[in-house]
Amino acid sequence: MSVTAPTLADLTARTGLAVLDHLEREAEVPVIDGLQAQGDLLVVPLHLVADDVTLSEGPGPHWTPVPAEGLELLRSAAGGNPHTLVADPGTCRWTRGVHDRFGLALGVLATTAPAYLLHPEHGGSGLAPGTYAVRRQREAALRHAWRDDRARWSPGESRLVAD
């Protein structure tokens, strides 16, 4: 993709992925090397979570090159609205072969050129070259302490947020 930051309209034109038309389409999508959140997903530079997120050992993680049409990382609860990773072919790769102490990481991406995460409702996030973990969001879950129909908020357990 071009050196100057593309707009959301540019990204949807190049990838064929649609975003909702009320989002600001002509603003540039900033390319950032830090922490970014897109709805219930978080993109975090791997070094910031190196104590908690590690790549699989043994023969090494199975890396998937991000193809021209993009790679769906996660779909929303209703089955639509995916978070899609897009990049110029040959510049970005992705693996789900990771271990996360909190079980929140979907995987790790490594990119040598700007890569973009697109979502129909949340628009685009631009990722500067680097290595990032992509994590899901969690919330405290219920503990069924006494009987199934007497659940209460529990401090100890969590479940993944599905928006």
Partner 1 sequence: MTGRRGAESPDPESLSLLRRAVAIRDEWLAHGLSTDPADRPAAEAAISALYRIVDRPPPRFVWVDSPGSALYPGSPLHRAESTLAYLKAPEPSDGADPPVHDRLADLWSTMRSRLDRAVAPCLRPPLRAQRPPATLPAVPPERALRDGVWAGAVIDVTVRHSLTVSLCDAVRAPLFTEFATCSPRPLAAAWYGQHDAYRVGHYDAWHRLGLASFPAWAREVLDLWAATVRSCGWWWPGEGVCVVAERTAALHSEPMPDAVHGEVRLHRDGGPAVLFRDGWGAHVLNGTRVPAWVIGAPTPERISAEANVEVRRAAIERIGWDAYIGAAGLALVATAPDPGNPGSELRLYDMPESPVVVPGARTRPGPPGRVLVVVNGSPERDGTRRRYGLPVPGSLDDPVDAAGWTYGLSGATYARLARRT
Binding site for partner 1 (CB under 8 A): 20, 22-23, 30, 32, 34-39, 42, 44, 48-49, 52, 59, 62, 74-79, 100-102, 104, 119, 121-125, 135, 137-143, 145-147, 149-156, 160-162
CA distance 92 to 88: 7
Nearer to partner 1, 13 or 161 (CB): 161
Q: Residues 44, 151: contact at Cβ < 8 Å? A: no
**Helix (H) or strand (E) run with residue 9 in it:** helix 8-15
Residues with Cβ < 8 Å from 45, sequence gap 6 or more? 33, 34, 35, 130, 131, 132, 133
The CB-of-80 to partner 1 minimum distance in angstroms stands at 9
Nearer to partner 1, 50 or 68 (CB): 50
The CB-of-12 to partner 1 minimum distance in angstroms stands at 14
